Amino acid sequence: MMEINHSKIKETNRKKIITLLLEKNEITKLDISRKLDISITTVSTNITELKDEGIVEEVGSLESTGGRKAIAIKLNENCRYSIGVALTPNHIKISLVNLKKNIIENIRVRHKNDGIENIIVLANENIGIIMNKYSISSEKLLGVGISLQGTVDFKTGIVKYCYLLGIKDFNLKEKFEHLNVPIYVDNEANLSAYYEFLNRKDILNNLLYISITDGLGLGIIINGKIYRGDNNSSGEMGHMKIAINGKKCKCGAKGCLEAYTSMNSLIDNYNEVSSCNILDIDEFEEKYIQKDEVAQKILDKYLKTLSLGISNLIMILDPNSVIIGGDINSLLKDKIEVVKKNIYKDNLFTDENSCNISIASFKESYLLGAAMMPIEEFLEIK
Ligand SMILES: [Zn+2]
């Protein structure tokens, strides 16, 4: 028992020191000892170990708060890396970040969505290319986080259902285990929520992230943790029913919110009413900017339905912060006031002052969230 406690304390001290070094550019051992309230002997032992592992390095001398010159310690930010992978219906996106969470490289590869096995081969190939390019061994890789738009059992890495990639009860994690690093598979909206939260964690505990892409997902952060539900199926906001016998949804059911509020629903609606054939959201945005009447009408209706969905959500969870993101950000960024007006009109239970609704600050935050997962797990004090 004693030994377990001892190794736990040792691990905790080590993580505390790395976390402090991540915040500071350069710091002396004495200052580490003071800031963390750990004995100087323990700090020295840890620093020696971290130096041997290539995680920290000594840099020149620095005036310590004790007044004497002392050797400064710096984190070698490229000592460890993490890889985020996003599998979307058209692309494989890969992001390489270093321990300091700086993005080293982003790549995007188009795929034909012709079967998950082909997508996996392509993803593994490109992970290999990026690891070779930066000479990253599995010892230097903290892990791979994988994002997709579907229901995922986070613990096992099994995708329960992802109709956009055509998979059901599929063990995605095992397809990447040959890399010999921790693999994390999670839902795209969860990872987006997580990334937004990590960037605001000094001011927020709870956050809701609505991700509008080919589908509509919801990431829920409660007390700083992703809330996944008892069966990993939380946040299926897109499949809340808003109409009896309503529009057919891609999931097979009728009247789902997603059928009215996904990015594709805007494009399909536009094509239906105007008899045009626009292909993507950028083209829709262009029409809207050119004051195309059909585009304007369709967006107005879209915002009303989206606001209804968000309003229902606020009624249930009473959050302080709702963030709208996904691939639709640029179209919605000037529309946030309209959404707020729709939500707070006739609302006796909450108002703008108690719940802030905003547009996401980061693009592709699901990819960055996926890349952050191995780093946060590496640093987390359990
Ligand atoms: Zn549905």
Last residue of a domain, one of 49, 75, 101: 75
Q: How many helices (H) and strands (E) does the chain have?
A: 12, 16
- Hey, how many other C-beta atoms are within 10 angstroms of the C-beta on 121? 13
How close is the Cα of 239 to the center of ligand 1, in Å? 4
How close is the Cα of 252 to the center of ligand 1, in Å? 6
Cβ atoms of 288 and 159 closer than 8 Å:
no
In a domain, 132, yes or no: yes
Angstrom distance (rounded) from CA 97 to CA 262: 30
Q: How far from 291 is each of 199, 268, 270, 285, 294, CA to CA, in Å?
A: 36, 18, 13, 10, 9
How close is the Cα of 375 to the center of ligand 1, in Å? 34
Tokens of 335: 């529309």
Q: Which residues pair with 358 in a beta bridge?
A: 323
Residues 212 and 183 placed together within one structural domain of the fold: no
Residues with Cβ within 8 Å of 231's Cβ and at least 6 positions away in sequence, in order, are none
Cβ atoms of 324 and 212 closer than 8 Å:
yes
How close is the Cα of 216 to the center of ligand 1, in Å? 9
DSSP category for residue 87 = E
DSSP category for residue 152 = E
User: Helix, strand or coil for residue 121?
Assistant: helix
Domain of 330, in residue numbers: 203-361
Residues 214 and 349 placed together within one structural domain of the fold: yes
Residues 353 and 222 placed together within one structural domain of the fold: yes
How close is the Cα of 271 to the center of ligand 1, in Å? 21
How close is the Cα of 257 to the center of ligand 1, in Å? 7
Closest alpha carbon to 146 in 96, 191, 101: 191
How close is the Cα of 169 to the center of ligand 1, in Å? 18
How close is the Cα of 87 to the center of ligand 1, in Å? 20
Cβ atoms of 101 and 121 closer than 8 Å:
no
In a domain, 332, yes or no: yes
β-strands 183-187, 141-148: how paired? parallel
How close is the Cα of 208 to the center of ligand 1, in Å? 20
Q: How many residues does the chain have?
A: 382
How close is the Cα of 310 to the center of ligand 1, in Å? 16
How close is the Cα of 237 to the center of ligand 1, in Å? 9
Tokens of 245: 């016998």
In a domain, 198, yes or no: no
- Read off the CATH number of the domain in which 90 is found: 3.30.420.40
How close is the Cα of 144 to the center of ligand 1, in Å? 29
In a domain, 107, yes or no: yes
How close is the Cα of 120 to the center of ligand 1, in Å? 26
How close is the Cα of 164 to the center of ligand 1, in Å? 12
How close is the Cα of 265 to the center of ligand 1, in Å? 12
How close is the Cα of 240 to the center of ligand 1, in Å? 7
In a domain, 115, yes or no: yes
How close is the Cα of 285 to the center of ligand 1, in Å? 25
Residues 211 and 326 placed together within one structural domain of the fold: yes
Tokens of 313: 């959500």
- Read off the CATH number of the domain in which 38 is found: 1.10.10.10
How close is the Cα of 213 to the center of ligand 1, in Å? 14
Last residue of a domain, one of 19, 48, 75: 75
Residues 160 and 261 placed together within one structural domain of the fold: no
Residues with Cβ within 8 Å of 343's Cβ and at least 6 positions away in sequence, in order, are 307, 310, 311, 314, 357
How close is the Cα of 246 to the center of ligand 1, in Å? 11
Last residue of a domain, one of 47, 75, 103: 75
Residues 343 and 370 placed together within one structural domain of the fold: no
Tokens of 175: 């397809």
Residues 352 and 233 placed together within one structural domain of the fold: yes
Angstrom distance (rounded) from CA 31 to CA 213: 47
How close is the Cα of 83 to the center of ligand 1, in Å? 31
Residues 188 and 96 placed together within one structural domain of the fold: yes
pLDDT tens sequence across 88-115: 989 999 999 999 999 999 999 999 999 9
How close is the Cα of 256 to the center of ligand 1, in Å? 5
How close is the Cα of 217 to the center of ligand 1, in Å? 11
In a domain, 356, yes or no: yes
- Return per-residue pLDDT of the chain as tens, 382 residues: 555 678 888 889 999 999 999 999 899 999 999 999 999 999 999 999 999 999 999 987 766 555 567 789 999 999 999 999 999 989 999 999 999 999 999 999 999 999 999 999 999 999 999 999 999 999 999 999 999 998 999 999 999 999 889 999 999 999 999 999 999 999 999 999 999 999 998 888 999 999 998 889 999 999 999 999 998 889 999 999 999 999 999 889 999 999 999 999 999 999 999 988 999 999 999 999 999 999 999 999 999 999 999 999 999 999 999 999 988 888 898 899 999 999 998 887 888 888 999 999 888 899 999 999 999 999 987 7
Residues 250 and 132 placed together within one structural domain of the fold: no
How close is the Cα of 115 to the center of ligand 1, in Å? 22
Cβ atoms of 171 and 160 closer than 8 Å:
no
Tokens of 82: 């993490």
Cβ burial of 139 (10 Å; 0-12, 13-18, 19+) is exposed
Angstrom distance (rounded) from CA 28 to CA 69: 9
Residues 207 and 268 placed together within one structural domain of the fold: yes
Total domains in the fold of the chain: 3
Which amino acid belongs to residue 200? Answer: R
In a domain, 223, yes or no: yes
Angstrom distance (rounded) from CA 78 to CA 104: 10
Residues 314 and 354 placed together within one structural domain of the fold: yes
Residues 324 and 208 placed together within one structural domain of the fold: yes
How close is the Cα of 248 to the center of ligand 1, in Å? 8
Longest dimension (CA), the chain: 77
How close is the Cα of 328 to the center of ligand 1, in Å? 19
